[in-house]
Amino acid sequence: MNGRAPPPDLSALGPGTRLSTAGREPKSRARFVNQPVARASTILFPTLADLDAAIKAPDKGLYYGRRGTPGIWALEDALTSLEPGAAGTKLYPSGVAAISTSLLAVLEHGDELLITDSAYEPTRQFADQMLAPLGITTRYFDPRIADIAALFTPKTRAILLESPGSLTFELHDLPAITKAASAHGITTIIDNTWATPLRLQPLALGVDISIQALTKYVGGHSDLMMGSATTTAALWPKLARAHYRLGMSVSPDDAALALRGLRTLALRLDRHEKTALEVARWLESHPAVHSVLHPALPSHPDHAIFNRDFSGATGLFSIVLKSGTRASLAPFLDRLHHFGLGFSWGGYESLALPVELTGNRSLPQPARPGPIVRLSIGLEDTTDLIADLDQALIHWHNHQP
Ligand SMILES: *Cc1c(COP(=O)(O)O)cnc(C)c1O
């Protein structure tokens, strides 16, 4: 999109080939494997006629740094070509900026937004604290809702989805939700950070805007912040206008890092998925663990939806402990060697994080006997991670009253 040639359709290729090919220059001339990093604000035009031609078609080529440079377009095109049904992608300085800008692109004063109760906390805060004063109201719904159309009013304009929810891992029945929404002209937006387009292709299931925090799996090395929104031809003009009017722009250096991360995404996800499943299965039978919230496990209540809509899992899931409170977690979390204690996920290094749902859910939650801990499984070896969790859980268990 953008007046540039549309990226090629790579959907017939395997994931590794798609990731090696996406966003690359055509074979018809001598070229770099990777776009050189171009740091630019000003672009110089040879003549006034060239400047005037650029003003007439500002999205056709080089114009001004904020309008993009070839390395940024390469990343946009690569992300577009990973999602069948996509017409274009915009990049944002963070995942949160991708979400907030996409919401502003489709909502106006008097509209109503429906958000899954499992949504990422800053998404809720943006709706409650920034959209509400603009006259856009929000209602939260059960991520497992069976009949979403029952919630629609004439004011309902958009639905914000996240599947699985990144703390408690509920899945949506996406085809049912998008079918109901499109029948009422309601825009659907999904935060697809957990699955990435390699594991779930939301536009093919009828979603209108597919968002990723590239900060997570695409970056993959915990060294950059970026977000993306990929959409259909119908919504592209609105998305592109909001991106431009709100002054969204990303660093060309970070775009190069994200594109580098994208090249190895399939490899890394296969490893994250495999190790995470091994660790999750082991945790399911651990005496200190009440349950494991991982949609690829048969014990997960939405496992049938997972098998139907997703082509695989990634490396993030939660555990519910058998007893205790959040405050009781120190002997467990402080004792871990291979799991860092920190925010974010999707990097090569494993992380653990206590999950806080207070103030973060509008609907009642199922009773849970102990605190929730979220684990991001990195690229370390399964046996080392299991040994680490085991010694820390036993230590925690011995400290329980
Ligand atoms: C981290 C995260 C985001 C936000 O990404 P940032 O780049 O940190 O702004 C959005 N959604 C989910 C599910 C996330 O985990």
Span 214-241, average pLDDT:
98
Alpha helix segments (H runs only) across 150-251 = 174-183, 196-199, 236-245
Question: Using one digit for the tens of pLDDT, what is the confidence trace for 43-68?
Answer: 999 999 999 999 998 888 899 999 99
- b/e per residue 78-95 (b: at least 16 CB within 10 A): bbbbbbebbbbbbbbbbb
Q: Which residues line ligand 1 (CB under 6 A)?
A: 94-96, 120, 166, 191, 193, 213, 215-216, 225, 227, 344
Q: Whose CA is nearest to atom 8 of ligand 1?
A: 95
Q: Are 265 and 196 in contact (CB under 8 A)?
A: yes
Residue 110 in this model has a pLDDT that exceeds 70: yes
Of the candidates 147, 230, 154, the one whose C-alpha atom is nearest the C-alpha of residue 191 is 230
- Give the predicted TM-score (pTM) of the model: 0.96
Question: Using one digit for the tens of pLDDT, what is the confidence trace for 74-108?
Answer: 999 999 999 999 999 999 999 999 999 999 999 99
Of the candidates 90, 1, 3, 6, the one whose C-alpha atom is nearest the C-alpha of residue 54 is 3
Q: Are 382 and 278 in contact (CB under 8 A)?
A: yes
Number of CB atoms found within 10 A of residue 325's CB: 10
Longest dimension (CA), the chain: 79
> Could you tell me the two tokens for 3?
């007046």
**Alpha carbon separation from 275 to 174, 282, 355 (Å, rounded):** 27, 11, 21
- Going from the Cα of 98 to the center of ligand 1, the distance in angstroms, rounded, reads 9
Tell me the best of 168, 171, 216, 221 to mutate to test the pocket of ligand 1, counting ligand atoms within 8 Å of each CB and taking the most.
Answer: 216
Q: What is the mean pLDDT of the chain?
A: 95
Return the sign of the alpha-carbon dihedral for residues 381, 384, 385, 386.
positive
What is the structure's pLDDT at 59?
80
**Cα dihedral value 94, 100, 104, 107, nearest 10:** 150
Point out the catalytic residue in the list 66, 238, 281, 335.
Answer: 66
Percent of the chain past pLDDT 90, that is, above it, reads: 92
**Alpha carbon separation from 306 to 7, 169, 299, 301, 355 (Å, rounded):** 29, 11, 12, 10, 23
Of the candidates 167, 170, 148, 169, the one whose C-alpha atom is nearest the C-alpha of residue 159 is 148
SS3 state of residue 383: helix
What is the structure's pLDDT at 280?
98
What is the structure's pLDDT at 2?
55
Span 151-175, average pLDDT:
97
- Going from the Cα of 226 to the center of ligand 1, the distance in angstroms, rounded, reads 9
Beta bridge partners of 340: 351
For 167: left if phi > 0, alpha if psi spans -120 to 50, otherwise beta; the answer is: alpha
Question: Using one digit for the tens of pLDDT, what is the confidence trace for 24-45?
Answer: 988 888 889 999 999 999 999 9
> Could you tell me the two tokens for 88?
């274009």
> Could you tell me the two tokens for 337?
């060697």
Span 159-178, average pLDDT:
97
Number of CB atoms found within 10 A of residue 5's CB: 9
Q: How far apart are the first and last CA of the chain?
A: 61
- Going from the Cα of 346 to the center of ligand 1, the distance in angstroms, rounded, reads 10
Point out the catalytic residue in the list 18, 90, 92, 120.
Answer: 120
Residue 170 in this model has a pLDDT that exceeds 60: yes
Query: CB-based burial of residue 386 (10 Å sphere; 0-12 exposed, 13-18 middle, 19+ buried)?
Result: middle
Question: Using one digit for the tens of pLDDT, what is the confidence trace for 329-365?
Answer: 999 999 999 999 999 999 999 999 999 998 899 999 9
> Could you tell me the two tokens for 320?
């519910």
Distance between CA atoms of residues 192 and 196, nearest Å: 6
216 is catalytic: yes
SS3 state of residue 211: strand
Question: Using one digit for the tens of pLDDT, what is the confidence trace for 284-300?
Answer: 999 999 999 999 999 99
Distance between CA atoms of residues 89 and 81, nearest Å: 9
Q: Whose CA is nearest to atom 2 of ligand 1?
A: 213
Question: Edge-to-edge strand order for the sheet containing 137-141?
Answer: 88-92, 227-231, 209-213, 187-191, 156-162, 112-116, 137-141
Residue 252 in this model has a pLDDT that exceeds 80: yes
